[in-house]
Protein backbone atom coordinates (compact mmCIF):
# COMPACT_ATOMS: atom_id res chain seq x y z
CA UNK A 1 0.00 0.00 0.00
CA UNK A 2 1.43 3.38 -0.97
CA UNK A 3 1.77 5.79 1.92
CA UNK A 4 -0.49 8.87 1.69
CA UNK A 5 1.15 12.21 0.93
CA UNK A 6 1.84 14.35 4.00
CA UNK A 7 -0.04 17.65 4.32
CA UNK A 8 1.49 21.01 3.46
CA UNK A 9 3.85 22.04 6.24
CA UNK A 10 5.18 25.46 7.22
CA UNK A 11 8.49 24.58 8.87
CA UNK A 12 9.37 28.18 9.80
CA UNK A 13 6.02 28.73 11.53
CA UNK A 14 6.38 25.51 13.51
CA UNK A 15 9.98 26.35 14.47
CA UNK A 16 8.94 29.77 15.75
CA UNK A 17 6.23 28.27 17.97
CA UNK A 18 8.74 25.79 19.38
CA UNK A 19 11.29 28.54 19.98
CA UNK A 20 8.76 30.58 21.96
CA UNK A 21 7.64 27.62 24.05
CA UNK A 22 11.22 26.57 24.86
CA UNK A 23 12.07 30.14 25.89
CA UNK A 24 9.01 30.30 28.13
CA UNK A 25 9.56 26.97 29.84
CA UNK A 26 13.29 27.42 30.43
CA UNK A 27 12.80 30.42 32.73
CA UNK A 28 11.14 30.86 36.14
CA UNK A 29 8.52 30.00 37.29
CA UNK A 30 8.86 26.86 35.14
CA UNK A 31 12.32 26.13 36.56
CA UNK A 32 13.79 26.59 40.03
CA UNK A 33 16.97 28.15 38.57
CA UNK A 34 17.35 31.25 36.43
CA UNK A 35 20.57 30.16 34.69
CA UNK A 36 19.68 26.47 34.11
CA UNK A 37 16.63 24.22 34.09
CA UNK A 38 15.90 22.48 37.39
CA UNK A 39 12.46 20.91 37.24
CA UNK A 40 11.88 17.54 38.81
CA UNK A 41 8.86 15.51 39.84
CA UNK A 42 6.25 17.00 42.18
CA UNK A 43 8.02 20.33 42.67
CA UNK A 44 6.26 23.63 42.01
CA UNK A 45 8.10 24.35 38.71
CA UNK A 46 7.24 20.86 37.55
CA UNK A 47 3.51 21.23 38.27
CA UNK A 48 3.47 24.65 36.59
CA UNK A 49 4.99 23.07 33.48
CA UNK A 50 2.51 20.18 33.52
CA UNK A 51 -0.37 22.65 33.85
CA UNK A 52 0.96 24.66 30.90
CA UNK A 53 1.31 21.57 28.71
CA UNK A 54 -2.13 20.38 29.73
CA UNK A 55 -3.59 23.74 28.75
CA UNK A 56 -1.92 23.58 25.33
CA UNK A 57 -3.36 20.12 24.74
CA UNK A 58 -6.87 21.05 25.81
CA UNK A 59 -6.72 24.11 23.56
CA UNK A 60 -6.35 21.85 20.50
CA UNK A 61 -9.15 19.50 21.49
CA UNK A 62 -7.48 16.86 23.66
CA UNK A 63 -8.84 15.51 26.91
CA UNK A 64 -5.95 15.47 29.40
CA UNK A 65 -5.55 13.89 32.84
CA UNK A 66 -3.01 12.59 35.34
CA UNK A 67 -2.84 8.85 35.93
CA UNK A 68 -2.34 7.35 39.44
CA UNK A 69 1.41 8.05 39.53
CA UNK A 70 1.46 11.42 37.75
CA UNK A 71 1.99 10.58 34.09
CA UNK A 72 0.18 13.24 32.03
CA UNK A 73 -1.97 11.56 29.37
CA UNK A 74 -4.00 13.26 26.64
CA UNK A 75 -6.17 11.84 23.86
CA UNK A 76 -8.10 13.32 20.95
CA UNK A 77 -10.11 10.12 20.40
CA UNK A 78 -12.59 7.98 22.28
CA UNK A 79 -11.59 5.33 24.83
CA UNK A 80 -10.93 2.03 23.11
CA UNK A 81 -9.63 3.62 19.91
CA UNK A 82 -6.04 2.53 19.25
CA UNK A 83 -3.99 5.71 18.85
CA UNK A 84 -0.46 6.57 17.82
CA UNK A 85 1.41 7.61 20.97
CA UNK A 86 3.74 10.60 21.03
CA UNK A 87 5.63 12.43 23.77
CA UNK A 88 8.55 12.35 26.19
CA UNK A 89 9.00 13.93 29.64
CA UNK A 90 8.84 17.39 31.25
CA UNK A 91 11.26 16.85 34.15
CA UNK A 92 14.95 17.74 34.00
CA UNK A 93 18.17 16.93 35.75
CA UNK A 94 19.18 19.46 38.38
CA UNK A 95 20.95 22.27 36.55
CA UNK A 96 20.01 20.85 33.17
CA UNK A 97 19.27 22.23 29.73
CA UNK A 98 16.30 23.67 27.86
CA UNK A 99 15.61 20.86 25.39
CA UNK A 100 16.09 17.50 27.10
CA UNK A 101 12.70 15.82 27.41
CA UNK A 102 10.44 18.83 27.13
CA UNK A 103 11.19 19.15 23.40
CA UNK A 104 9.64 15.72 22.81
CA UNK A 105 6.42 16.83 24.50
CA UNK A 106 6.28 20.14 22.64
CA UNK A 107 6.92 18.50 19.25
CA UNK A 108 4.17 15.97 20.00
CA UNK A 109 1.80 18.90 20.54
CA UNK A 110 3.00 20.41 17.26
CA UNK A 111 2.26 17.17 15.40
CA UNK A 112 -1.28 17.26 16.80
CA UNK A 113 -1.66 20.96 16.00
CA UNK A 114 -0.47 20.53 12.41
CA UNK A 115 -2.74 17.50 11.90
CA UNK A 116 -5.72 19.46 13.18
CA UNK A 117 -4.90 22.46 10.97
CA UNK A 118 -4.75 20.14 7.95
CA UNK A 119 -8.13 18.63 8.80
CA UNK A 120 -6.65 15.19 9.46
CA UNK A 121 -8.62 12.92 11.75
CA UNK A 122 -5.61 11.15 13.30
CA UNK A 123 -6.11 9.27 16.59
CA UNK A 124 -3.34 10.46 18.92
CA UNK A 125 -2.34 9.88 22.52
CA UNK A 126 0.27 12.24 23.96
CA UNK A 127 2.12 11.35 27.16
CA UNK A 128 4.54 13.18 29.43
CA UNK A 129 6.11 10.51 31.62
CA UNK A 130 6.85 11.40 35.23
CA UNK A 131 10.39 11.27 36.70
CA UNK A 132 12.39 10.17 33.67
CA UNK A 133 15.59 11.78 34.93
CA UNK A 134 15.77 10.37 38.50
CA UNK A 135 16.27 13.89 39.89
CA UNK A 136 13.38 13.70 42.34
CA UNK A 137 13.35 10.08 43.49
CA UNK A 138 16.63 8.64 42.23
CA UNK A 139 14.99 6.21 39.79
CA UNK A 140 15.36 6.67 36.03
CA UNK A 141 12.30 6.12 33.79
CA UNK A 142 10.05 5.83 36.83
CA UNK A 143 6.67 6.59 35.23
CA UNK A 144 7.21 4.41 32.17
CA UNK A 145 8.67 1.56 34.23
CA UNK A 146 5.61 1.60 36.49
CA UNK A 147 3.38 1.49 33.41
CA UNK A 148 5.41 -1.44 32.05
CA UNK A 149 4.93 -3.36 35.32
CA UNK A 150 8.60 -3.22 36.29
CA UNK A 151 8.03 -1.47 39.63
CA UNK A 152 5.54 -2.79 42.18
CA UNK A 153 3.44 -1.11 44.85
CA UNK A 154 5.74 -2.23 47.65
CA UNK A 155 8.68 -0.39 46.09
CA UNK A 156 6.61 2.80 45.74
CA UNK A 157 5.51 2.56 49.37
CA UNK A 158 8.89 1.71 50.86
CA UNK A 159 11.97 1.69 48.64
CA UNK A 160 11.66 4.61 46.22
CA UNK A 161 12.19 7.78 48.22
CA UNK A 162 12.61 11.47 47.51
CA UNK A 163 16.19 12.69 47.34
CA UNK A 164 15.28 15.93 49.11
CA UNK A 165 13.40 14.67 52.18
CA UNK A 166 13.64 10.88 52.18
CA UNK A 167 9.89 10.36 52.15
CA UNK A 168 8.51 7.54 49.95
CA UNK A 169 7.10 8.16 46.48
CA UNK A 170 3.71 6.87 47.68
CA UNK A 171 3.46 9.59 50.32
CA UNK A 172 4.47 12.34 47.87
CA UNK A 173 1.93 11.09 45.31
CA UNK A 174 -0.85 11.13 47.89
CA UNK A 175 0.13 14.64 48.98
CA UNK A 176 -0.06 15.73 45.32
CA UNK A 177 -3.65 14.49 45.14
CA UNK A 178 -2.88 11.53 42.87
CA UNK A 179 -4.89 8.32 43.15
CA UNK A 180 -1.77 6.25 43.73
CA UNK A 181 -3.81 3.54 45.45
CA UNK A 182 -5.00 2.65 41.94
CA UNK A 183 -1.43 2.21 40.67
CA UNK A 184 -2.42 -1.03 38.92
CA UNK A 185 -4.34 1.06 36.38
CA UNK A 186 -1.15 2.81 35.24
CA UNK A 187 -0.59 0.09 32.62
CA UNK A 188 -3.76 1.21 30.81
CA UNK A 189 -1.78 3.99 29.10
CA UNK A 190 0.00 1.35 27.01
CA UNK A 191 -3.21 -0.46 26.09
CA UNK A 192 -4.44 2.63 24.24
CA UNK A 193 -1.48 2.84 21.86
CA UNK A 194 -1.05 1.11 18.50
CA UNK A 195 2.48 2.52 18.20
CA UNK A 196 4.76 5.07 19.90
CA UNK A 197 7.24 7.70 18.66
CA UNK A 198 9.46 9.91 20.84
CA UNK A 199 11.53 12.85 19.59
CA UNK A 200 14.60 13.79 21.61
CA UNK A 201 17.86 15.65 21.26
CA UNK A 202 20.68 13.21 20.52
CA UNK A 203 22.76 14.03 23.65
CA UNK A 204 25.86 13.17 21.63
CA UNK A 205 27.58 14.57 18.54
CA UNK A 206 27.16 11.88 15.89
CA UNK A 207 24.55 13.84 13.93
CA UNK A 208 26.38 17.16 14.23
CA UNK A 209 29.71 15.71 13.13
CA UNK A 210 28.09 13.95 10.17
CA UNK A 211 26.09 17.01 9.11
CA UNK A 212 22.80 15.09 9.42
CA UNK A 213 19.52 16.69 10.47
CA UNK A 214 17.79 13.64 11.93
CA UNK A 215 18.58 10.26 13.42
CA UNK A 216 16.12 7.37 13.35
CA UNK A 217 16.90 5.19 16.34
CA UNK A 218 16.89 1.43 15.82
CA UNK A 219 18.19 0.27 19.25
CA UNK A 220 18.44 1.67 22.77
CA UNK A 221 21.29 0.52 25.00
CA UNK A 222 20.47 -1.22 28.25
CA UNK A 223 22.10 -0.18 31.48
CA UNK A 224 23.01 -1.26 34.98
CA UNK A 225 23.39 1.20 37.83
CA UNK A 226 25.27 -0.18 40.81
CA UNK A 227 27.67 0.72 43.63
CA UNK A 228 31.02 -0.65 44.75
CA UNK A 229 32.03 -0.10 48.38
CA UNK A 230 35.70 -0.30 49.34
CA UNK A 231 36.35 -0.47 53.09
CA UNK A 232 39.89 -0.18 54.39
CA UNK A 233 41.26 1.75 57.33
CA UNK A 234 41.17 5.51 57.91
CA UNK A 235 44.56 6.66 59.21
CA UNK A 236 46.65 9.77 59.70
CA UNK A 237 48.04 10.94 56.34
CA UNK A 238 51.38 11.97 57.85
CA UNK A 239 52.00 9.34 60.50
CA UNK A 240 51.02 6.19 58.57
CA UNK A 241 53.82 4.73 56.41
CA UNK A 242 52.92 3.85 52.84
CA UNK A 243 53.48 0.10 53.32
CA UNK A 244 51.10 0.00 56.32
CA UNK A 245 48.14 1.69 54.63
CA UNK A 246 44.77 0.16 53.73
CA UNK A 247 43.79 3.03 51.45
CA UNK A 248 40.28 2.48 50.08
CA UNK A 249 40.63 5.24 47.50
CA UNK A 250 43.69 3.70 45.85
CA UNK A 251 41.79 0.41 45.51
CA UNK A 252 38.84 2.26 43.98
CA UNK A 253 41.11 4.19 41.61
CA UNK A 254 42.76 1.02 40.31
CA UNK A 255 39.32 -0.50 39.72
CA UNK A 256 38.01 2.59 37.94
CA UNK A 257 40.99 2.61 35.59
CA UNK A 258 40.28 -1.03 34.74
CA UNK A 259 36.60 -0.20 34.06
CA UNK A 260 37.69 2.03 31.19
CA UNK A 261 39.74 -0.79 29.63
CA UNK A 262 36.91 -3.31 30.04
CA UNK A 263 34.36 -1.00 28.40
CA UNK A 264 36.66 -0.37 25.42
CA UNK A 265 37.28 -4.09 25.10
CA UNK A 266 33.54 -4.93 25.11
CA UNK A 267 32.76 -3.14 21.83
CA UNK A 268 32.22 0.22 20.20
CA UNK A 269 28.80 0.93 21.73
CA UNK A 270 29.69 -0.19 25.29
CA UNK A 271 30.45 2.43 27.92
CA UNK A 272 31.34 2.40 31.59
CA UNK A 273 31.28 5.38 33.93
CA UNK A 274 31.93 6.19 37.58
CA UNK A 275 29.99 9.41 38.13
CA UNK A 276 29.79 9.46 41.93
CA UNK A 277 32.59 9.01 44.43
CA UNK A 278 31.89 9.31 48.15
CA UNK A 279 35.03 9.48 50.30
CA UNK A 280 35.16 8.97 54.07
CA UNK A 281 36.39 10.62 56.17
CA UNK A 282 36.95 13.01 53.26
CA UNK A 283 39.60 15.32 54.73
CA UNK A 284 42.98 16.26 53.27
CA UNK A 285 45.09 14.83 56.09
CA UNK A 286 43.46 11.41 56.43
CA UNK A 287 43.93 8.17 54.51
CA UNK A 288 40.51 7.33 53.04
CA UNK A 289 38.91 4.47 54.96
CA UNK A 290 35.78 3.97 52.91
CA UNK A 291 34.78 4.72 49.33
CA UNK A 292 31.51 4.34 47.49
CA UNK A 293 31.95 4.38 43.71
CA UNK A 294 28.90 4.35 41.46
CA UNK A 295 28.83 2.24 38.30
CA UNK A 296 26.92 3.10 35.12
CA UNK A 297 27.45 0.42 32.47
CA UNK A 298 25.61 0.47 29.12
CA UNK A 299 25.59 -1.44 25.83
CA UNK A 300 23.16 -2.65 23.19
CA UNK A 301 24.00 -6.27 24.10
CA UNK A 302 23.24 -7.70 27.54
CA UNK A 303 26.29 -9.98 27.25
CA UNK A 304 28.56 -6.94 26.94
CA UNK A 305 27.05 -5.33 30.05
CA UNK A 306 27.51 -8.55 32.03
CA UNK A 307 31.08 -8.98 30.80
CA UNK A 308 32.04 -5.49 31.94
CA UNK A 309 30.38 -5.91 35.33
CA UNK A 310 31.91 -9.34 35.91
CA UNK A 311 35.29 -7.95 34.94
CA UNK A 312 35.15 -4.89 37.15
CA UNK A 313 33.92 -6.89 40.13
CA UNK A 314 36.74 -9.38 39.62
CA UNK A 315 39.30 -6.58 39.52
CA UNK A 316 37.85 -4.96 42.65
CA UNK A 317 37.97 -8.24 44.55
CA UNK A 318 41.55 -8.98 43.46
CA UNK A 319 42.73 -5.50 44.43
CA UNK A 320 40.86 -5.85 47.70
CA UNK A 321 42.68 -9.06 48.57
CA UNK A 322 46.06 -7.60 47.62
CA UNK A 323 45.51 -4.46 49.70
CA UNK A 324 43.42 -5.86 52.59
CA UNK A 325 40.35 -3.92 51.48
CA UNK A 326 36.84 -5.30 51.90
CA UNK A 327 34.78 -4.97 48.70
CA UNK A 328 30.99 -5.05 48.36
CA UNK A 329 28.85 -4.74 45.23
CA UNK A 330 25.17 -3.75 45.15
CA UNK A 331 22.99 -3.29 42.08
CA UNK A 332 20.52 -0.39 42.06
CA UNK A 333 18.73 -0.80 38.77
CA UNK A 334 18.96 -2.87 35.57
CA UNK A 335 17.17 -2.42 32.26
CA UNK A 336 17.86 -4.68 29.27
CA UNK A 337 18.71 -3.31 25.81
CA UNK A 338 15.82 -3.03 23.39
CA UNK A 339 15.52 -3.17 19.60
CA UNK A 340 12.93 -0.73 18.26
CA UNK A 341 10.19 -1.67 15.82
CA UNK A 342 11.13 -2.07 12.16
CA UNK A 343 7.75 -0.99 10.80
CA UNK A 344 7.64 2.23 12.85
CA UNK A 345 11.25 3.00 11.93
CA UNK A 346 10.41 2.38 8.26
CA UNK A 347 7.47 4.83 8.44
CA UNK A 348 9.84 7.46 9.85
CA UNK A 349 12.38 6.72 7.13
CA UNK A 350 9.72 7.22 4.45
CA UNK A 351 8.71 10.48 6.11
CA UNK A 352 12.32 11.67 6.24
CA UNK A 353 12.82 10.85 2.57
CA UNK A 354 9.68 12.79 1.55
CA UNK A 355 10.79 15.77 3.62
CA UNK A 356 14.20 15.76 1.91
CA UNK A 357 15.94 15.41 5.27
CA UNK A 358 19.53 14.33 5.75
CA UNK A 359 19.11 11.40 8.12
CA UNK A 360 20.79 8.26 9.37
CA UNK A 361 19.97 5.17 11.38
CA UNK A 362 21.63 5.12 14.78
CA UNK A 363 21.54 3.67 18.28
CA UNK A 364 20.83 5.52 21.51
CA UNK A 365 23.38 5.14 24.26
CA UNK A 366 21.19 7.21 26.57
CA UNK A 367 18.16 5.64 28.27
CA UNK A 368 14.70 6.88 27.33
CA UNK A 369 11.12 6.05 28.31
CA UNK A 370 10.74 4.50 24.86
CA UNK A 371 12.79 1.48 25.93
CA UNK A 372 10.11 0.60 28.50
CA UNK A 373 7.19 1.25 26.15
CA UNK A 374 8.81 -0.75 23.33
CA UNK A 375 8.46 -4.00 25.26
CA UNK A 376 4.69 -3.94 24.66
CA UNK A 377 4.05 -1.29 21.97
CA UNK A 378 5.78 -1.02 18.53
CA UNK A 379 8.05 1.97 19.06
CA UNK A 380 10.74 4.17 17.54
CA UNK A 381 12.61 7.39 18.23
CA UNK A 382 13.74 10.44 16.28
CA UNK A 383 16.88 12.32 17.28
CA UNK A 384 17.83 15.85 16.32
CA UNK A 385 21.36 17.24 16.77
CA UNK A 386 22.42 19.14 19.88
CA UNK A 387 25.29 21.59 19.73
CA UNK A 388 28.60 19.96 20.60
CA UNK A 389 26.74 16.91 21.86
CA UNK A 390 26.27 18.72 25.18
CA UNK A 391 23.30 17.73 27.34
CA UNK A 392 22.38 17.55 31.04
CA UNK A 393 23.96 21.00 31.21
CA UNK A 394 22.88 24.62 31.10
CA UNK A 395 25.00 24.84 27.92
CA UNK A 396 22.66 22.43 26.11
CA UNK A 397 21.43 23.87 22.80
CA UNK A 398 19.56 22.69 19.72
CA UNK A 399 17.79 24.13 16.70
CA UNK A 400 14.00 24.66 16.70
CA UNK A 401 14.27 24.42 12.90
CA UNK A 402 15.65 20.88 13.22
CA UNK A 403 12.88 20.11 15.70
CA UNK A 404 10.27 21.41 13.25
CA UNK A 405 11.70 19.09 10.61
CA UNK A 406 11.20 16.29 13.12
CA UNK A 407 7.56 17.35 13.51
CA UNK A 408 7.14 17.18 9.73
CA UNK A 409 8.66 13.68 9.55
CA UNK A 410 6.68 12.35 12.52
CA UNK A 411 3.41 13.75 11.14
CA UNK A 412 4.06 11.96 7.84
CA UNK A 413 4.88 8.75 9.75
CA UNK A 414 1.72 9.00 11.89
CA UNK A 415 -0.39 9.47 8.76
CA UNK A 416 1.39 6.49 7.16
CA UNK A 417 0.95 4.25 10.23
CA UNK A 418 -2.70 5.22 10.68
CA UNK A 419 -3.47 4.57 7.04
CA UNK A 420 -1.79 1.16 7.13
CA UNK A 421 -3.50 0.19 10.40
CA UNK A 422 -7.02 1.43 9.74
CA UNK A 423 -7.24 1.68 5.98
CA UNK A 424 -7.76 5.42 6.22
CA UNK A 425 -10.44 5.72 8.91
CA UNK A 426 -10.90 5.19 12.62
Q: Are 320 and 355 in contact (CB under 8 A)?
A: no
3 in any annotated domain: no
Domain boundary among 298, 315, 332: 332
For a pLDDT cut of 70, what percent of the chain falls above it? 97
Domain boundary among 298, 332, 366: 332
Q: Average pLDDT for residues 365-382, to the nearest whole number?
A: 96
Residues 229 and 80 in one domain: no
Convert the pLDDT of each residue in 260-302 to its tens digit: 999 999 987 999 999 999 999 999 999 999 999 999 999 999 9
89 in any annotated domain: yes
| R_g of the chain computed on alpha carbons | 23
Looking at every residue in the chain, the average pLDDT score rounds to 95
Query: Residue 2's pLDDT band (boundaries 50, 70, 90)?
Result: low
In 3D space, the residue among 151, 320, 302 whose CA is nearest the CA of residue 250 turns out to be 320
62 in any annotated domain: yes
Convert the pLDDT of each residue in 179-208 to its tens digit: 999 999 999 999 989 999 999 999 999 999
4 in any annotated domain: no
Burial class (CB in 10 A: 0-12, 13-18, 19+), 172: buried
| pLDDT at residue 1 tops 80 | no
| pLDDT at residue 425 tops 50 | no
Q: Average pLDDT for residues 42-60, to the nearest whole number?
A: 98
| pLDDT at residue 139 tops 70 | yes
Read off the CATH number of the domain in which 143 is found.
3.40.630.10
Report pLDDT for 426: 42
Convert the pLDDT of each residue in 211-266 to its tens digit: 999 999 999 999 999 999 999 999 999 999 999 999 999 999 999 999 999 999 99
369 in any annotated domain: yes
Task: Indicate the number of domains in the chain.
Answer: 2
Query: Residue 424's pLDDT band (boundaries 50, 70, 90)?
Result: very low
Report pLDDT for 268: 79
Q: What is the pTM of this model?
A: 0.91
Query: Residue 90's pLDDT band (boundaries 50, 70, 90)?
Result: very high
Report pLDDT for 422: 58
| pLDDT at residue 423 tops 60 | no
Residues 276 and 401 in one domain: no
Q: What is the 3-state secondary structure (H, E, C) of the chain?
A: CCCCCCCCCCHHHHHHHHHHHHHHHCCCCCCCCCCCECCCCCCHHHHHHHHHHHHHHHHCCCEEEECCCCCEEEECCCCCCCEEEEEEECCCCCCECCCCCHHHHHHHHHHHHHHHHCCCCCCEEEEEECCCECCCCCCECHHHHHHCCCCCHHHHHHHCECCCCCCEHHHHHHHCCCCHHHHHHHHHHHHCEEEEEEEEECCCCHHHHHCCCEEEEEEECEEEEEEEEEECCCEECCCCCHHHCCCHHHHHHHHHHHHHHHHHHHCCCCEEECCCEEEECCCCCEECCEEEEEEEEEECCHHHHHHHHHHHHHHHHHHHHHHCCEEEEEEEEEECCEECCHHHHHHHHHHHHHHCCCEEEEEECCCCCHHHHCCCCCEEEEEECEHHHCCCCCCCCECHHHHHHHHHHHHHHHHHHHHHHHCCCC
Q: Are 382 and 198 in contact (CB under 8 A)?
A: yes
Residues 292 and 375 in one domain: no
| pLDDT at residue 68 tops 80 | yes
Residue 276 belongs to domain spanning: 222-332
188 in any annotated domain: yes
Amino acid sequence: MAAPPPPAFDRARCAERLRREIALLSAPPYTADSDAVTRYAFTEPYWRTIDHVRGCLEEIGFEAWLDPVGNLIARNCAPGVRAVGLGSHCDSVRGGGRYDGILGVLTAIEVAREARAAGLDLPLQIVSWVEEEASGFGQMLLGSRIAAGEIDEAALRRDIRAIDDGRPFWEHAQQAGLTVEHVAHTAEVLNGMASWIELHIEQGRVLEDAGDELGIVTDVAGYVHADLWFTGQADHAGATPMDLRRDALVAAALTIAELERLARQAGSDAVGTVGELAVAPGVINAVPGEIRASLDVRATRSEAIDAILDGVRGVAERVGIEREINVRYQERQRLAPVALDGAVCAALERGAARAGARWRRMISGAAHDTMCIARSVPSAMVFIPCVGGISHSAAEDASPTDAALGVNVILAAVLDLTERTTGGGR
